[in-house]
Amino acid sequence: MFGKIKGAEKIPLGQQGETLACQYLSRHGYRVIVRNYRTKLGEIDIIAEEKGTLVFVEVKTRRGHQCGHPFEAVTPAKCRQISRVALEYLAETGREGQSARFDVVAISFSGEAVPVIELVKNAFDLSYGA
């Protein structure tokens, strides 16, 4: 199912997490549109669509919780950065009027054979602050 990625020992942890997140989202009804959308303002890990809603997905991957739960890494500053990049994507693709939301996928490799994957839909609102 979501276990190991062939050759994963050579792939950086973040990329492994994004690959697992794409597989997970696809199995849960999302259609992945873009992976690693980059602009001068930053990056969005995954842009997908679910039931007509555009979804900007932040993926956080950790090897355990020594540094806290992966969700804790989605700070207010990170939310503002993702929001700015999302607005740029919407303008660039002419989708300003489409309904959209921000989801977060947390992936934890804690010595288990299978990583723990958690999804929070609508994890944060569009953020404009400085």
pLDDT tens over the chain, length 130 residues: 444 444 455 567 778 889 999 999 999 999 999 999 999 999 999 999 999 999 999 999 887 666 667 788 888 999 999 999 999 999 999 999 899 999 999 998 877 678 889 999 999 998 876 5
Domain spans of the chain, in order of start: 8-124
Q: Does domain 8-124 have CATH number 3.40.1350.10?
A: yes
Planar angle of CA 89, 93, 95, nearest 5 degrees: 90
Whole-structure pTM value: 0.86
